[in-house]
Chain A
Amino acid sequence: MTTPMVKAEGVHKSFGAAHILKGIDLEVAPREVFCLIGPSGSGKSTFLRCINHLEKINAGRLSVDGELVGYRQKGDKLYELKDSEVALQRRDIGMVFQRFNLFPHMTAIENVMEAPIQVKGETKAVARARAEKLLDRVGLSDKAGNYPTQLSGGQQQRVAIARALAMEPKLMLFDEPTSALDPELVGDVLDVMRGLAEDGMTMIVVTHEMGFAREVGDALVFMDDGVVVESGHPRDVLTDPQHDRTKSFLSKVL
């Protein structure tokens, strides 16, 4: 049996008194497109942010590719990782944000080149060559010299995807990548994600795009109030939900 790309066992997370995640158990297989859906405030984005340790979990275990996130285990003791060690883990996990978060003081291509140069110590020439390929792949080779403010939301998000891919991650996290976009710009971004899925990238996608989930997703989880309510193949869950809460949620969004 292969190691799961992501494995969560009883993951809890609270912010002060607010208990956001109440014991999440799930497994994401390599090359799988894993969709997380649920009402806002259900904890799906928080869970995603725990996977690359932007948030620290309070209880349970969370591992990526067999390696604990943010901790090292020796015997039965857990040791917190240093900031630099956490940074090392994050190199292999790409993340795409709802609000793009491109670096506004750098051009599109500089955004894509930044991490390989700064983190992997690549030369400018190597980083530029890859960045050009990636921008071409997301259909923006003609926008390489533009600053983010000169790009539409959809273009910015595609640059953000290219930026994450530049680190050649083994796992990509998408945090509602199309929620901040005008409806007519959503398609371009979803096309890029579809292409990634076809190439066998492991992806965890928090989304409200049920069409994308049904068409591209290999697995789907419906979360509500910090727990996994229902999971299965997207076609089954979306067309024949078993749980009342899933039914009422889907009846509102479909």
Chain B
Amino acid sequence: MTDKFDRTPAGSPAGPVSVSKGATPAPENIKAIPVRHVGRWISGVVVIGLLVALGYAFSQGNIQWHAVGDKLFDKNVVAGAGRTLLISVLAMVLGVILGVVLAVMRLSKNPVTSWVAWLYIWFFRGTPVYVQLLLWFNLALIFPVLNIPFIYKDEMTDVMTPFMCALLGLALNEAAYMAEICRAGIQSVDEGQTEASHALGMTQGKTMRRVVLPQALRVIIPPTGNEFINMLKTSSLVYAVTYNELLRSTSQIGSTSYAVMEMLFVASIWYIVMTSVFSVGQYYLERRFARGSLRSLPLTPWQRVKVNLAAFGNRPSGGVSA
């Protein structure tokens, strides 16, 4: 935002006060007339104008804005948002675990495991997740009874509740994508790392767990964050298997109260809040896994604010450590 205060505040040779220890005096900063960015001003005005026009159009539309506010924290809506969050987190956790396993299988020297992993990824990436959800929903047509000998036996329709359909559909599809992300991450780790680990007498499994995967995470985490944010939104498809998540609970209210558009706004607000919160979480997660790859971590936005405040108040900036 304010470029003036973004630079290192303490040690910079600015102003007449800072004279370096006994030696040459600090050089005087260049005073020049900055380049004028006319284009930025014009484009800024155009963008603001367009936003105002858009806002005006919405305000004139046949929308009862108070309904949006009224229903935003409706009991059913909040419960729906909670279910969206629940199904997304569970499906993602399952998807990541299975994805890592599939990636390791895919890279295995054993041709059988590698081929099985390939087949899985081929099928689940090759069919739409919507179709997969419907397949789980209708699984009873092929297997009327789920029978695991000596362990479990039940009617398939009892097992495949809307929740189970949603969870399996989303998680198994996600695993296929996560497998490819993990594979790319594993392959991005320098071969020298594996060699060093093997030379120390570590087995294949230990090498993977202790040396390769932790480094692969740095490559895996950013796209995984994307996948999760995608998952939050894709979970709206489980509408089809009658799981009562955010979109379903809002549109039920919408269709009974004739506030269709209003309730879609309510759903959108919830989706955007959830994705925003997780984007911030992703930022800090990425920072944590950048350890060891950068000499010093860049400041977080909050730390930058603190530095700027310190510079603004002309206090010595201390206590900010990356």
B-binding residues in A (CB < 8 A): 52, 54, 83-84, 87-88, 90-91, 93-95, 97, 99, 101-106, 114-115, 118-119, 147-150, 160, 163-164, 167
Contact = CB atoms under 8 A, between A and B. Distances in A.
Interface stretch (B77-85, B121-129, B209-217, B250-258): B209-217
Given A54-B195, A101-B193, A103-B211, A149 B294 contact: yes
B242 interface: no
Interface in B263-322: 291-295
Contacts of A106: 292
A68 to B, nearest CB: 17
B210 A118 contact: yes
- Most B CB contacts (10 A, CB to CB) among A54, A105, A167 go to A105
B295 A149 contact: yes
A87 B210 CA distance: 15
Contact of A119 (B193, B196, B201): B201
Interface residues of B, dominant DSSP: helix
B202 interface: yes
Interface string B208-232: 0011001100000000000000000
Contacts of B293: 104, 149
Interface of B: 190, 192-193, 195-204, 206, 210-211, 214-215, 291-295
Given A114-B210, A118-B210, A87 B202 contact: yes
Contact of A105 (B200, B201, B204, B291): B291
Given A87-B201, A90-B198, A95-B199, A118 B291 contact: no
Contacts of A118: 202, 206, 210
Contacts of A95: 196, 199
B202 A105 contact: no
A177 to B, nearest CB: 13
- Most A CB contacts (10 A, CB to CB) among B193, B203, B204, B206 go to B203
A56 B203 CA distance: 17
Given A101-B192, A150-B295, A163 B200 contact: yes
Given A87-B203, A90-B200, A119-B200, A101 B291 contact: no
Nearest to A163: B200
A164 B196 CA distance: 9
Given A103-B193, A105-B214, A105-B215, A149 B292 contact: yes
B198 A104 contact: no
Contact of A91 (B192, B201, B214): B201
A167 B201 contact: yes
Contacts of B203: 83-84, 87
A103 B201 contact: no
A150 B292 CA distance: 8
